[in-house]
Structure 1
Amino acid sequence: MAVTKEFLKEEREQAWRVDIRKLLKNKERTALTRVHMGEVDANERILSNIEVNTGLSEEEAVNEAKRCLDCPDPTCITGCPVEINIPKFIKRIEQGDYLKAAQVLKQTSALPAVCGRVCPQEKQCEAKCFYQLKMKKEPVAIGHLERFAADYERESGQISVPEVAKGNGVKIAVIGSGPAGLTFAGDMAKQGYDVTVFEALHEIGGVLKYGIPEFRLPNSIVDVEINSLTKMGVKFENNFIVGRTATIEDLKEEGFEAFFTGSGAGLPRFMNIPGENYIGILSSNEYLTRVNLMDAANPKTDTPVISGKNVAVIGGGNTAMDSVRTAKRLGAKRAMIVYRRSMEEMPARVEEVKHAQEEGIEFLNLTNPVEYFADENGRVNKMRVQKMELGEPDASGRRRPVVIEGSEYDIEVDTVVVSVGVSPNPLIPSSLPQLETTRWGTIVVDEEKLQTSIPEMFAGGDIVRGGATVILAMGDGRNAAAAMHNYLQDKLNA
């Protein structure tokens, strides 16, 4: 009988059905319920930047690890942009070998403690879990277990450093120390390259430091991950703006042979509505950067942030949630999310929305600002909004918000944080006319290799995607490192 594609497909599906029956018979595991991570009480946590989630105990972690069914075709791995061997690290936790679990994570992830906290596992690895796909049950808490393993290793003091190859003397420059740049740097260091990361701000970490509040991701956690990269030989230069402090040509003269651009999307967008330039209206980028990196919550600092009592945050993404929850911690009596679509269509993580609701954040959904007003000193004091209703789906697949005529009304505000998206950092493209970009300002790359129109330059993260998650940026960093290594080896052997 001829072996056709249809025959092979049927064979695979038959084998998968047999595997499913075997997995379903494992009542000891399928009967277990998903662990719930503890949280600091909302009334307590809004008074400080204490981390909201408290992590898993050893007993909780082991019991959750036992839920993993050891699938013959672990689809959870395909849902992970950096392709962590998820079943393997979970099995190590089940066996009580937590340090080994952390080592498995570090084989492919430079930032496991970070990812365990901020990655949207519910849309990625956990969405591909057998429980979710086939049984319509809650998936294994992969993110919680990743955090547990990384935290256990750090708290034990026995932090492992991935093995690196013998130095090959080839100098590589990384522009930006966000998740894409850090991941790329780690993978290149493992291959023996001499890697230097250049960061424009005064602290290393990029968006992990300036964009994510400590109540979600403590800076000390990021610092430990960065320290591991330093031990691998990665060098860091802060307060260094590539394109200003030194050009790409200057760096080439210093011996750098190839470049990775992970400079992010730090250019804020506004709505261009009347009154948007009044005092007290600022972007979420500025708001979070000043609070997270510049001690702006302290009124005696050089750059204090305006801390209002009636704060409106415009938008419905994770950055909007971070901003409004930060406002609550800065003393806002009324902290509001103003979002033009419904709660169901809000792009923020479910966990972030839940935490915001617990903390007393007010949600004004199907509402959109149209104008701002100010007092005699030019400080915003009122926001005019209009109600919306959902129409037909747009290009994103979400139902388009449509204005309800005559629905305008005013809300008292003294601070407005605009969080309606960001644009790519224009500095690198503007300093390299030969670098091909899109009409949105993102850098054009080969989809597979992430190589730009300048052969020795690769790029990834938000400067390419225009705004994405930490783990997607990390995936870009890994892919670009592999592609650059091949490029340099081919060049060497030519």
Structure 2
Amino acid sequence: MPNMSLEKVKIPEQEPDVRNKNFDEVSLGYTKEQAMEEATRCLNCRHQPCKQGCPVGVPIPEFISEVAKGNFEEAYAIITKENALPAICGRVCPQENQCEGKCVRAIKGESVGIGRLERFVADYHRDHGQKTNIKIEKNGKKVAVVGSGPAGITCAGELAKRGYDVTVFEALHKTGGVLSYGIPEFRLPKALVQQEVDGVAQMGVDFQTNVVVGRSITIDELQEQGYEAIFVGSGAGLPRFQGIPGENLNGVYAANEFLTRVNLMKGYEFPNHPTPVKISDTVCVIGAGNVAMDAARTAKRLGAKEVYIVYRRGAEEVPARAEEVHHAKEEGIIFKLLTNPVKIEGEDGWVKSMECVEMELGEPDDSGRRRPVVKEGSNFTIETGTVIVSIGQSPNPLIRQTTPGLDTQKWGGIIVEEETMKTSKDGVYAGGDVVTGAATVILAMGAGKTAAQAIDEALKKEDR
């Protein structure tokens, strides 16, 4: 009989006042007993709506059924047929909008903790699973992948399984893309990202770091070198700014730069790692998406006494995951909603304060969200020495500027056919944030998987 408890089995977490001073993982994960108990809440529905909510099509009820029986390795085998990065997805996927959002148990009470169970299974396998030697028959064809983030890793792994010689070109000195530079250690340990990348490398994928495609080498040159298909998964790392006075002052960071210094360059371990990250007692983060939450929670851990999330819309419109907002509030992050910065004031070249205005919500705009309107005469100032701008990112223009015949959107995203991820340029495919703009890890993985399938079909067709 299924466990009919209306609530998920509680997951152990570090206490807020302890964790907001360290970079260890916030959530401690389920024990075997907790995972098995949570798994018994699954009703094993005939229609499997949860599976339809998963961008990579994991057979969710099947793996949960194995967890309930204590067959954790069988559960891992089921998940990894469709998802190459379960330890990552279990931690950072917005399950509430995807698989768990469609769970029948959510009609009355809480959905089954699908993400928590996926994480448990992946962690259990890492600690107890047998290493298997993967034997893959090579087909003699070369494919290049640009970027080693979630889209690139997934595409590379799927193609390697099918026998292709895959080379991944990564611009940074470390693989993992946004998983390494963007998501903090306390949400996604970097050792875990490395293990997932190592798993793909064991399939024969060659990772070349410090190669900036569009500068070190162009797409056309890769084609000249005999790569029969190229997948571009270079992400969206170019920050946007508001265009307000004072954004060029010292003490103003783009969220990407701030998080890269801390995560990739180990700024949180200064001086053991030579990456200084200067922050003041009061920090203002502009924006309220997941990246803004990551930046705010990171600033708190680096010693800031007061950290503000400054966002021009209301609580209903906050785009970050509910779990991230909940964790941020628990850790003492202060939310200044319906507030918009208009000017950053400086002294001797450094940030001194930020002038803001209060907003009120008017009629809905094109996005369906109510448009914020300035309250006249509501200007006020926040004394701060650090401002972190987190209002979105777009793709780096290098690839589109150096690749003739590649059609892109006005804002810089590469245009693709949705069913195949094929671009306007022969033999070139693209997916993830470089196509959609900043989105989720699992959507990028879904794009990488779709592209790999399409590349395989196209290259097989050429052989006929």
Task: Check whether TM > 0.5.
Answer: yes
Q: Quick one: structure 1 residues 433 and 123, their matched pair in 2 at CA, closer, same or farther if it must change by over 3 Å?
A: same
Of the structure 1 ranges 241-250 and 317-326, higher mean CA displacement relative to structure 2 is found in: 241-250
Tell me which residue corresponds to 1:447.
418
Tell me which residue corresponds to 1:286.
257
Q: Give distance in 2, aligned partners of 1:280 and 1:157.
A: 46
Cα drift, residue 164 of structure 1: 6.0
Please point out which of 309, 313, 330 is paired with 2:285.
313
Q: 1:42 and 2:16 equivalent?
A: yes
Tell me which residue corresponds to 2:110.
138
Q: Give distance in 2, aligned partners of 1:120 and 1:488.
A: 34
What secondary structure does 2:3 align onto? helix
Contact 2:218 2:403 in 1 (8 A): no
Residues 268-292 of structure 1 show CA distances to partners (whole Å, capped at 9, x for unaligned) of 0000001111110110010000111
Q: Quick one: structure 1 residues 71 and 373, their matched pair in 2 at CA, closer, same or farther if it must change by over 3 Å?
A: same
Contact 1:120 1:349 in 2 (8 A): yes
Q: Quick one: structure 1 residues 332 and 31, their matched pair in 2 at CA, closer, same or farther if it must change by over 3 Å?
A: closer
Cα drift, residue 34 of structure 1: 1.4
Tell me which residue corresponds to 2:140.
169
Tell me which residue corresponds to 1:22.
none
Which contiguous aligned blocks of 4+ residues in structure 1 show a shift greater than 3 angstroms? Answer: 297-303
Q: State, as a whole percentage, how many aligned pairs show the same letter.
A: 54
Tell me the TM-score normalised to structure 2 length: 0.97
What secondary structure does 1:382 align onto? strand
Tell me which residue corresponds to 1:19.
none
Q: 1:270 and 2:211 equivalent?
A: no
- 2:292 alignment partner AA: A
Flag structure 2 segments of 5+ consecutive residues without an equivalent: none
- 1:324 alignment partner AA: A
Tell me the TM-score normalised to structure 1 length: 0.91
Contact 1:295 1:304 in 2 (8 A): no
Tell me which residue corresponds to 2:346.
374
Tell me which residue corresponds to 1:3.
none
Of the structure 1 ranges 207-216 and 344-353, higher mean CA displacement relative to structure 2 is found in: 344-353
Q: Give distance in 2, aligned partners of 1:363 and 1:214.
A: 23
Tell me which residue corresponds to 1:420.
391
Tell me which residue corresponds to 2:123.
151
Q: Give distance in 2, aligned partners of 1:137 and 1:368.
A: 36
Please point out which of 291, 296, 318 is paired with 1:324.
296
Contact 1:164 1:190 in 2 (8 A): no
Tell me which residue corresponds to 1:79.
53
Cα drift, residue 393 of structure 1: 1.3
Note the 1:182-193 alignment, pairs <5 A: 182-193=153-164
Residues 115-154 of structure 1 show CA distances to partners (whole Å, capped at 9, x for unaligned) of 000000000000111112xx33211100000000000000
Please point out which of 48, 51, 59 is paired with 2:33.
59
Cα drift, residue 247 of structure 1: 2.1
Note the 1:291-440 alignment, pairs <5 A: 291-300=262-271, 302-375=274-347, 377-440=348-411
Q: Give distance in 2, aligned partners of 1:229 and 1:33.
A: 36
Q: Give distance in 2, aligned partners of 1:181 and 1:411.
A: 41
Q: Which has the larger radius of gyration?
A: 1
Q: Give distance in 1, aligned partners of 2:92 and 2:275.
A: 28
Contact 1:311 1:416 in 2 (8 A): yes
Q: 1:30 and 2:1 equivalent?
A: no
Contact 2:280 2:386 in 1 (8 A): yes
- 1:394 alignment partner AA: D
Q: 1:101 and 2:67 equivalent?
A: no
What secondary structure does 1:371 align onto? strand
Residues 360-409 of structure 1 show CA distances to partners (whole Å, capped at 9, x for unaligned) of 1111011010001111x210011000001111111112111111111000
Aligned length: 463
What secondary structure does 1:443 align onto? coil
- 2:117 alignment partner AA: L
Cα drift, residue 433 of structure 1: 2.3
Flag structure 1 segments of 5+ consecutive residues without an equivalent: 1-25
Tell me which residue corresponds to 1:5.
none
- 1:313 alignment partner AA: V
Tell me which residue corresponds to 2:215.
244
- 1:138 alignment partner AA: E
Cα drift, residue 217 of structure 1: 0.1
Contact 1:153 1:159 in 2 (8 A): no
Cα drift, residue 105 of structure 1: 1.0
Q: Give distance in 1, aligned partners of 2:6 and 2:202.
A: 40
- 1:427 alignment partner AA: L
Contact 1:298 1:304 in 2 (8 A): no
Q: Quick one: structure 1 residues 94 and 466, their matched pair in 2 at CA, closer, same or farther if it must change by over 3 Å?
A: same
Cα-Cα RMSD: 1.4
Contact 1:164 1:192 in 2 (8 A): no
- 1:66 alignment partner AA: T
Cα drift, residue 254 of structure 1: 2.9
Please point out which of 186, 194, 200 is paired with 1:223.
194
Cα drift, residue 444 of structure 1: 0.6
